[in-house]
Chain A
Amino acid sequence: MSNRRPYVRSMDGWWKRDAYFIRYMAREVTAVFVAAYAIVLLFGLVRLAQGEAAFNGWLQYLKTPWMLVFHLIVLGTFVYHTWSWFNIMPKTMPIMFVGGKRVQPGTITGSGIAAAVVACLAVLLIVKGMHP
């Protein structure tokens, strides 16, 4: 009869144990905001289908102070989500070589973020072009 009695520790509250885990949970939580904003846009689409008056009402609603605050919060979480997503991106890609040299993780993250910024600016410019 063996005297072994391996002790298994509880995982309760594991995510509070390390700042890294808290940041990870924050990244996961920001995904909820992404989904929430998708619902807002979807709602806009439904209103558009219901006619111009309905759509304008939806646009008016978006301009209420409460919704402006909501937009600011969502923007903040989107920026964090984008940053954390590109941060983890090098981990999701196979090892790549360009000109015989290995592409560094920082380069991948940097190009991702740069691409996101360029895309945002392009959208802004297009939108601005449509509403001079």
Chain B
Amino acid sequence: MEVFQADVAIVGAGGAGLRAAIAVAETDPKLKIALISKVYPMRSHTVAAEGGAAGVTRTDDSLDYHFDDTVHGGDWLCEQDVVEYFVAHAHEELVQMEHWGCPWSRNDDGHVNVRAFGGMKIERTWFAADKSGFHMLHTLFQTSIKYPSIKRFDEYFCTDLMVEDGRCQGVLAIQIATGEFTLIEAKAVIIATGGAGRVFRENTNGGIVTGDGMALAYRHGVPLRDMEFMQYHPTCMPGTGLLFTEACRGEGGFLLNKDGYRYLQDYGLGPAEPTPRNKAMELGPRDRLSQAFWHEKKKGRTIEGPHGAVVNLDLRHLGAAKLHERLPLICELAEEFLGVDPAHTPIPVLPAVHYTMGGITADGKTAAPLPGLYSVGECSSVGIHGANRLGSNSLTELIVFGKVAGVEAAKFAKSMAISNPGAIKKQAEAAQARALGVVTRSDGKERLAVLRTEMAQSMEDGCGIYRLQADMQATCDKLRELRERYKNLKIDDHSKVYNTEWLLGIELGYLLEVAEAIIYSALNRKESRGSHQRLDGYEKRDDVNFLKHSLAYYTGDGAPRIEYGEVKITKSKPGTRAYGAAGEKAAAEEREREGAGNG
């Protein structure tokens, strides 16, 4: 086993991991950074983000507006002090990206242009056409090359964390090309491995989004927080689940049911107007739009397609020229995958799982309860998304908290030395034996793809847009069964060089455990909030009992233990989430109340 000594190890080289690596390098060029990723950095799933990144920019916008949009959007399950930090640092991080070369779309005067997004009071989304994530990722990757202290371990698959003396001191990884193991000792470890959308059947996520880092931290006793909150994105491609960005609606797209009717006006999001109004209709928040789809389907007003019910995303009135300037990737996807030209035909869409709001418990500075461990990005629950993430907050999260994680981990690493390298080596050997156990056995019976498919289907059945006690229980039982069958996994491939089946086998283990954390958190949350909606007597939000973070603890072979943690409320008391005309009325009343209170 090779051993590499780093000061800071970062697992995952997407937007968050790269930003963290650059922050460590800029904090102290003498710190040795190991940047470990199971894919080449530019393959990371940040690449697929389309719409853009939020940061207060216009003079008629304010940090308070961004704060309110975020906290209301998250149904008050946000850590408000963390949101305050987030909105205050969003703009400067976006400017930093600009200085590093990110090709943001511009106004004629040369300033960066902003666009509207769902749930947003004022336009504040920075965008690079509809390839914002792609451009941010490549900009960060290419900029990271400037720093000689960043040593990349491209195509190294992480199998475990090394926890010794009560703190995280490194990771064990497989070099995919050789199948050999490398122990990376580190004084601080940052997990930046992205979400876990692949536990669901229909999702917008890439094949690599398998919750690896979440499972690793979870196994070492770090609770996964708010895992029941999975975001369904309302406009995805039937069959594949590929994403049509919210920017389609930000630019003025309509959602139509089978009668060509803008049905969102029936769900408290109206009135329907011909041009987009912020926080209304198609620019409502994602959870509400996905829920409206579900109701339309129940009413039989959706369109039956080859992959089930769909509605139409109508962009025709925007015209070919604007579509090709602002939404080139959307045009390409629609034309190549569906044979639809959005300038002439509406795009069939349906909701699909898109984003994991919850994740590894982290404080406002990205630190996990386990000393030496940090997490950032979709794998992390730093506390800004609450029960429903606001579109275009996640790309900004990567850079704002990527920097924080880098700075904090650097600080921690400088104050520490590796303790007990002998014990760490022993741990690594044990972890290696466990990982090899997946690939060397030849008596397994259960086919990997079958287990994975059953898991994804079961999660969709039990943990979808609307949830029922009995269905969730059935999914819990199914996952128990699958974890049992997983112990009897059959692997065809026993070779070492680029054995992807081996890695898929390890990933399935991660997926199953994260899926359990999700479903048990959902089962225990007896209320409806944000993206967690129940139809079994718990249709209302319950602030008395559930204005709390769920915390799922790993218990080995057993079901996760669910506990609850406090939510930090600073300046926004829980209120009603209202959008459209109702939202404007509520905001006016609130202003009046505040005015009266101050007077």
Contact = CB atoms under 8 A, between A and B. Distances in A.
Direct contact of A and B (CB under 8 A): yes
B89 to A, nearest CB: 36
B157 to A, nearest CB: 16
A128 interface: no
A5 B495 CA distance: 13
Interface in A1-27: 2-5
Contacts of A4: 177-178, 497
Contacts of B497: 3-5
Interface in B177-220: 177-180
B552 to A, nearest CB: 39
A5 B177 CA distance: 10
Contacts of B496: 3
A3 B176 CA distance: 11
Contacts, number: 12
B320 to A, nearest CB: 15
A56 B27 CA distance: 84
Nearest to B498: A4
Nearest to B179: A3
A47 to B, nearest CB: 60
Contacts of B495: 3
A4 B178 CA distance: 6
Interface residues of B, number: 7
Chain A binding surface SS class: loop
Contacts of A5: 497
A5 B497 CA distance: 9
A3 B178 CA distance: 6
Contacts of B178: 2-4
A2 B177 CA distance: 9
B422 to A, nearest CB: 25
A4 B496 CA distance: 9
A89 to B, nearest CB: 25
A6 B368 CA distance: 41
Contacts of A3: 178-179, 495-497
A100 to B, nearest CB: 10
A4 B179 CA distance: 9
Interface in A60-77: none
A34 to B, nearest CB: 40
A5 B496 CA distance: 12
Interface string B477-519: 0000000000000000001110000000000000000000000
A42 to B, nearest CB: 51
Nearest to B175: A2
B178 to A, nearest CB: 4
A96 B179 CA distance: 50
Nearest to A2: B178
A79 B177 CA distance: 51
Nearest to B180: A2
B499 to A, nearest CB: 10
A3 B495 CA distance: 9
Interface string A48-64: 00000000000000000
A3 B497 CA distance: 6
A101 to B, nearest CB: 12
Contacts of A2: 177-178, 180
A102 to B, nearest CB: 12
Interface string B151-190: 0000000000000000000000000011110000000000
Interface string B291-330: 0000000000000000000000000000000000000000
Interface string A80-111: 00000000000000000000000000000000
A102 B568 CA distance: 53
A4 B497 CA distance: 6
Nearest to B496: A3
Contacts of B177: 2, 4
A83 to B, nearest CB: 29
A2 B179 CA distance: 8
A130 B566 CA distance: 99
A2 B180 CA distance: 8
Contacts of B180: 2
A23 B162 CA distance: 58
B156 to A, nearest CB: 14
Interface string B265-304: 0000000000000000000000000000000000000000
B436 to A, nearest CB: 15
A5 to B, nearest CB: 8
A75 B325 CA distance: 44
A3 B175 CA distance: 12
A1 to B, nearest CB: 9
A121 to B, nearest CB: 38
Nearest to A6: B177
B594 to A, nearest CB: 48
B215 to A, nearest CB: 28
A2 B178 CA distance: 6
A90 B196 CA distance: 45
A16 to B, nearest CB: 30
12 contacts: A2-B177, A2-B178, A2-B180, A3-B178, A3-B179, A3-B495, A3-B496, A3-B497, A4-B177, A4-B178, A4-B497, A5-B497
By Cβ-Cβ distance, the 3 closest A-B pairs, closest first, are: A2-B178, A3-B496, A3-B497
Given A3-B495, A5-B497, 6 more contacts: A2-B177, A2-B178, A2-B180, A3-B179, A3-B496, A4-B178
Interface of A: 2-5
